[in-house]
Structure 1
Amino acid sequence: MQRMLRVISFGLLASVCLGSSVQERPRRQTAAEGEGNNDLRSLTIEELCKNRQPDEFFRLTTEGDCRDVVRCDRAGLTGKIRLAGVRCPNGLAFDVLRQTCDWKAKVSTCDQLETVDQDPNAAPKCDTSQCILPDCFCSADGTQIPGGLEPSQVPQMVTITFSGAINVDNIDLFDEVFNGNRQNPNGCQIKGTFFVSHKYTNYSAVQELHRKGHEMAVFSVTNDGDENYWTGGSYEDWLAEMAGARLIIERFANITDNSIIGVRAPYLRIGGNTQFEMMADQLFVYDATITAPLSRVPIWPYTLYFRMPHKCAGNANNCPSRSHPVWEMVMNELDRRDDPTFDEKLPGCHFVDSCTNIQSADQFGRLLRHNLNRHLNTNRAPLGLHFHASWLKQSKEFKRELGKFIDEMLDRNDVYFVTMLQ
């Protein structure tokens, strides 16, 4: 992976300026004129680059051999926008979801550009006069603090989540992280959220975690390994996987307080409008799967009554386009640079264990503290630290560093470790 990133970095140095040629093309044709959803070349640069991060690579067309992508670049003192082109080496293709070159056999996104198809019934843009707390929240770019508060008035919330089975292999890890001695500034013990998959789960352990005040949410019944199963799943598939998982947890862990209200899709593969229609029908309150691209200011959770305030990054570009009465506990990408002051930009990561450049406890500690400060010093949007238990279990040093970080933050009076529901 590091080699692939170096390939992209080299490609940027040899970027081809495409600004003039694209700008002279006509504006978007209609489908009747022969322009489908597999080509963006009829758009102007301004249309292509609107609300797009400068380090996001995307395709202009799905024609060709899947090697060519571009990004928006502000060049020179005038800040004029141009397109900088990058080509992967022979034998490789560009994966728009992972934002890197890889062996062509491993890239399944050659037929994707970067956006969901236009929906004639799409949710409207945010209207703050109609979207009122506590039932609805939105903002134009997703960065505004709910209630119009100033950052100094808002505690910094940190959500620690684990996704997958709960059993004898990891319950000791959870007991160490949430040891009963770590308390938030208000005197309450820190809590976490567990997205539980059915396979290999010990429901006595689930019951005990719930008894201690941790939040249980669903991560599916089967945890099916075919990522396309989730992207293209039918209403009945999502109903069986998520509502079915909730019924199983409630029955076998004896959870009777109707507190299982959250969903996370395996592999972070959103099921589009179908998933959210099922969630609304089954009275799920929130989803925690959609990812927001790395940006200077992170995104606050929002409701999906109105249009998403950020691009559909990853998730197989299958984000919901219509209005749904569901909260999105958005996953802000982590900045994984070892030294953010000097290092070149790298694509962000969603799960902590997907930050593949983190190889030592010191690097892990810097990752945690830098991202905490990034949230704390901007708009104090909740910082999500999302884990798979096996990653922490395999390294005592990483586990020790996480505990050290938690204790250090709890010495402050403005950082709280809470559940998604809280």
Structure 2
Amino acid sequence: MHIDDDGAVPELADLLADAAEGRGAMPSGALDYASMLATMAELDLDSADMEESDNEGDDDDESFGDEEDVRMQSFGAKRVIPEGDEGDDDDDDDGDDDDDNDGGGGGGDERWAAAEKWASETHASIAAAEREAAAPAHGRRAAAEDYVCAAQADCDLASSPHGCHCASRSPPAGLSAAQMPQFVLLTYDDSVNPSVMPLIVRTLEGHTSANGCSLRATFFISTEYTDMAHVHALWAAGHEIAIHTVTHKTGYDSTKERWTEEILGCKATLSKLGHIPEDDIVGMRAPFLQYSLDQLRVLQENGFLYDSSIREYGNQWTSLLSGGPAAKIYPYTMDYGVGQMCDWTHGNCQDWRLPGLWEVPMHTIDQMGDDPAADANVISVMDNSDVQQMMDNFDAHYNGNRAPFGIFLHATRMVYDQINDIINQMSAYPDVYFVTTAQLVEWMRNPVPKDQMASFFPTCDVAGAGAHRPPRRPR
């Protein structure tokens, strides 16, 4: 950990210990939904509408259920159960729906029972969604010719608030692949609470990037069932906190008003109760990866920097611009529309225009050689062959165009030993940087070659997405 004249950034484990003993800036203890709604009411947000689904009578919302797990990086249902909880082998999939490992006596609470019921009903739709996924979807784009972006030189002249960048397989600013740092995005979705924090801490501690800094991760947080002391501790340790809505119950058909309440309500709650500056909360991932034009418009109109909800397929799936694992597309702005497959959307996204809003694609893991795993399927139990599949894809990125590589996780579905192995292997490569999603976008806006990365990361002690520093611990 970097030390300067002001002292060292607190280690994550120390921050969590302080929170547990009441010494930190935040009180410990899970934020219950009633308290969150009271805060939202104080902020003049309409929480009543957020209690209801937009699709009344449709419990599973005809979604992928936990669609975020229908990508190769969501490593299956094998849970790591903290010591002392071996008797509970329930396989809940979402951090926001699972308090089985808390040890705080919340198992009988009606809130948790309702959350578990909702998760069970939601996951029941996965099989049906997988069958439907193979069929053409309204709005899906099948050819690269459907996406037309002006020459990058013209795009550079655009007046977008966060810049303009065409969707492309080429590195930015004329850099060659050999000049590129290899960025890795480590992200976690859903709630943060005592049942998932031990797994998160074990994953993040003890690893470094090429600059010698600790790993940086992005947490896309749903505020319902979230412990705000842990959120603050993660931010203070240098990780990015981003939006995943309040209730995790939005979908493609949600209204713009609903999206506004969910997005701004989540941001206000994270900022006020998590003690995080609002301008450090700059990005979002849509629940179930069910993005929409209304959702993206809310982000753009409220000054957000990026969205990261759109999957980028390869190999067996017809991709729009990507050419397999060695030639994925880089992040881009949506000045000229969406440069990816518009699957599962309503309307034709080639007509969407969202100047200055960045999209950070979620690359799926592609089938390599004779590996029987198919693109975008769930790895139900992660074994050595799955680790090798992941590393084969990483090698293709690293030896190809070096587009950013993503490890997209839910903590309660994470198999620690295998994830730790993957991170160790990736960290051993030269020029590999584990960065937050916001840091990646900032690099895209001001790219530098790998031999100048010291100017991009002058120190290791930056918290969150912006230039704010966490509270200093006395020496």
Provide TM-score, normalisation by structure 1.
0.64
1:212 aligns with 2:212: no
Aligned position for 2:436: 419
Counterpart of 1:230 in 2: which secondary structure? coil
Within 2, Cα distance between the matches of 1:316 and 1:364? Answer: 34
| Deviation of the 1:371 alpha carbon | 1.5
**Structure ranking higher in helix proportion:** 2
1:145 aligns with 2:171: yes
Aligned position for 1:186: 211
> For the Cα contact (< 8 Å) 1:218–1:245, is it kept in 2?
yes
Alignment of 1:116-135 (within 5 A): 125-132=149-156, 135=163
Counterpart of 1:421 in 2: which secondary structure? helix
Within 2, Cα distance between the matches of 1:271 and 1:116? Answer: 15
Aligned position for 2:383: 361
Q: What letter corresponds to residue 423 of structure 2 in structure 1?
A: I
| Deviation of the 1:402 alpha carbon | 1.3
Aligned position for 1:260: 281
1:250 aligns with 2:267: no
Aligned position for 2:201: 175
Aligned position for 1:401: 418
Deviations along 1:319-340, one digit per CA (max 9) or x if unpaired, are 47322120001111111x4xx2
Within 2, Cα distance between the matches of 1:317 and 1:399? Answer: 40
Counterpart of 2:266 in 1: which secondary structure? helix
Match of 2:251 among 213, 227, 230: 230
Alignment of 1:293-332 (within 5 A): 293-294=313-314, 295-296=323-324, 297-314=327-344, 319=349, 321-324=351-354, 325-332=356-363
Aligned position for 2:20: none
> For the Cα contact (< 8 Å) 1:332–1:384, is it kept in 2?
yes
Aligned position for 1:275: 295
| Deviation of the 1:204 alpha carbon | 0.3
Within 1, Cα distance between the matches of 2:129 and 2:408? Answer: 29
Unaligned runs of 5+ in 2: 1-125, 315-322, 440-475
Deviations along 1:103-139, one digit per CA (max 9) or x if unpaired, are 699759989445279xxxx996333122129712114
Counterpart of 2:438 in 1: which secondary structure? coil
| Deviation of the 1:380 alpha carbon | 0.5
Match of 1:290 among 305, 310, 321: 310
Within 2, Cα distance between the matches of 1:111 and 1:408? Answer: 38
Within 2, Cα distance between the matches of 1:344 and 1:251? Answer: 47
Q: Which has the higher relative contact order, 1 or 2, with Cα contacts under 8 A spaced 6 or more apart?
A: 2
Aligned position for 1:7: none
> For the Cα contact (< 8 Å) 2:210–2:431, is it kept in 1?
yes
Within 2, Cα distance between the matches of 1:103 and 1:218? Answer: 28
Match of 1:196 among 221, 241, 249: 221
> For the Cα contact (< 8 Å) 1:126–1:138, is it kept in 2?
yes
Within 1, Cα distance between the matches of 2:267 and 2:221? Answer: 9
Cα 1:298–1:111, aligned 2, differ >3 Å: closer, same or farther? closer
Deviating beyond 4 angstroms after TM superposition, the runs of 4 or more aligned structure 1 residues are: 101-111, 314-320
Within 2, Cα distance between the matches of 1:310 and 1:361? Answer: 31
> For the Cα contact (< 8 Å) 1:123–1:305, is it kept in 2?
no
Within 2, Cα distance between the matches of 1:416 and 1:307? Answer: 29
Alignment of 1:8-157 (within 5 A): 107=132, 112-113=137-138, 115=140, 125-132=149-156, 135-139=163-167, 142-157=168-183
Within 1, Cα distance between the matches of 2:336 and 2:286? Answer: 21
Aligned position for 1:391: 413
Within 1, Cα distance between the matches of 2:349 and 2:237? Answer: 34
Within 2, Cα distance between the matches of 1:104 and 1:308? Answer: 23
| Deviation of the 1:359 alpha carbon | 2.7
| Deviation of the 1:212 alpha carbon | 0.0
Q: What letter corresponds to residue 382 of structure 1 in structure 2?
A: P
> For the Cα contact (< 8 Å) 1:288–1:328, is it kept in 2?
yes
| Deviation of the 1:258 alpha carbon | 1.3
> For the Cα contact (< 8 Å) 1:215–1:419, is it kept in 2?
yes
> For the Cα contact (< 8 Å) 2:242–2:281, is it kept in 1?
yes
> For the Cα contact (< 8 Å) 2:139–2:348, is it kept in 1?
no
> For the Cα contact (< 8 Å) 2:140–2:345, is it kept in 1?
no
Counterpart of 2:329 in 1: which secondary structure? coil
Within 2, Cα distance between the matches of 1:220 and 1:419? Answer: 19
Provide TM-score, normalisation by structure 2.
0.58
| Deviation of the 1:147 alpha carbon | 0.8
Q: CA RMSD, aligned part only?
A: 2.8
> For the Cα contact (< 8 Å) 2:165–2:333, is it kept in 1?
yes
Within 2, Cα distance between the matches of 1:239 and 1:257? Answer: 16
| Deviation of the 1:266 alpha carbon | 0.5
Aligned position for 1:241: 262
Q: What letter corresponds to residue 301 of structure 1 in structure 2?
A: P
Within 2, Cα distance between the matches of 1:174 and 1:104? Answer: 29
> For the Cα contact (< 8 Å) 1:123–1:321, is it kept in 2?
no
Q: What letter corresponds to residue 126 of structure 1 in structure 2?
A: A
Within 1, Cα distance between the matches of 2:284 and 2:244? Answer: 6
Aligned position for 2:111: none
Counterpart of 1:277 in 2: which secondary structure? helix
Aligned position for 2:364: 333
Within 2, Cα distance between the matches of 1:110 and 1:370? Answer: 29
Cα 1:254–1:152, aligned 2, differ >3 Å: closer, same or farther? same
Deviations along 1:162-220, one digit per CA (max 9) or x if unpaired, are 000000001111111111x3211211111100000011100000000000000000000
Unaligned runs of 5+ in 1: 1-100, 350-354, 393-397
